[in-house]
Amino acid sequence: MSTRKDAVAGQFYPASKTEIEKMFHHYNVIIDESIKDERILEIIPRAIIVPHAGYVYSAFTANIAFRLLKNSHAKRVVVIGPSHRVYLDGISVARYDSYETPLGEIPIDTKLADTLIKKFDLHFQENAHAEHSTEVQMPFIKYYLENASVVEMVYGQEDPKHLSEVIKYLLNDKDTVVVISTDLSHYYDIEKAKKLDTICLEAIATLNANELHQGCEACGKIGVEAILITAKDKRLTSTLLDYRTSADVSNDKTQVVGYMSAAFSE
């Protein structure tokens, strides 16, 4: 039995199960006390977009989306994120038996992983999978969809249209949901960051993949474009859930990173 070991526990997120659960509970209390339209909490997503920074900066934004994803009662979750550490040509699919998290191991759907590799000419590049963009999502999945299995996909140079074909195939199964991982602009002052991030947000809200190329600087833009192509083709509805920047935590408005979450539902 092979395990995808956690690589950034204790760095991007707590290594303690208790600490993680306290964070998620705290965020949910804030949501329950401040949400203006409770109908949002009834959304049943087929896919979500979430950020992947350290939890102190972006976990509140991600948590809203994963809380909704629980409504899907999905049996498997496919997490798709960009490679930050290694050069990667195409898409690597994690070929392990399980995924380690502080909340317990998650089984990997090896049958689905093998099917994707064969059907879409993907591969497994092991050194691409100590990747934080995908790993930080796993504690959320274990917390909100305790019995679900996962598939981890990390991409480098990839055609969004090809990735969209993979996502369309995945969403043909009603028991499967997709998580797209991305942060937004990096290290601009707050005014510039919000201007650039607004392009991303408007593109996602309107399912306009072309608008992403008008200045959106999301590090996971390939994945975002792929889900927008897919959502438009499958006539899914996009709902923006949260947007904020690192300045909301650090109070440093000179070099910020943007974070957002969204849900795509039928």
- pLDDT tens profile 247-256: 999 999 999 9
At 117-134, the pLDDT tens digits run 999 999 999 999 999 999
pLDDT at 146: 98
Domain presence at residue 226 = yes
CA-wise closest residue to 37 among 56, 64, 18: 64
Q: What is the identity of the amino acid at 8?
A: V
If pLDDT is split at 50, 70 and 90, which confidence band does 161 have?
Answer: very high
DSSP string of 78-90? EEEEE-SSS--BS
Calculate mean pLDDT across residues 74-97: 97
Domain presence at residue 79 = yes
CATH code for the domain of 66: 3.40.830.10
Domain presence at residue 6 = no
If pLDDT is split at 50, 70 and 90, which confidence band does 108 have?
Answer: very high
Q: Examine the pLDDT at 149 and tell me if it is beyond 90.
A: yes
CA dist., res. 231 & res. 48, Å (int): 11
CA-wise closest residue to 175 among 77, 52, 86, 33: 77
If pLDDT is split at 50, 70 and 90, which confidence band does 1 have?
Answer: confident
If pLDDT is split at 50, 70 and 90, which confidence band does 177 have?
Answer: very high
- For 72-220, where are the alpha helices, taking DSSP H only? 110-119, 132-135, 138-144, 160-171, 190-206
Domain presence at residue 201 = yes
Domain presence at residue 173 = yes
Domain presence at residue 217 = yes
Q: Mean pLDDT of all residues in the chain?
A: 97
pLDDT > 70 in the chain, percent: 100
- Tally the domains of the chain: 1
Cα diameter, the chain:
49
Domain presence at residue 91 = yes
- Are 113 and 120 a contacting pair, CB within 8 Å? no
State which residues form the domain around 240: 18-32+43-251
pLDDT at 22: 98
Cα-based angle 257, 258, 263 (whole degrees, multiple of 5): 150
pTM of the model: 0.98
CA-wise closest residue to 177 among 117, 240, 258, 236: 236
Two structure tokens written together for 204:
């996602």
155-to-86, 142, 180, 228 alpha-carbon distances in Å? 10, 23, 11, 17
DSSP helix/strand/coil, 48: strand
Domain presence at residue 135 = yes
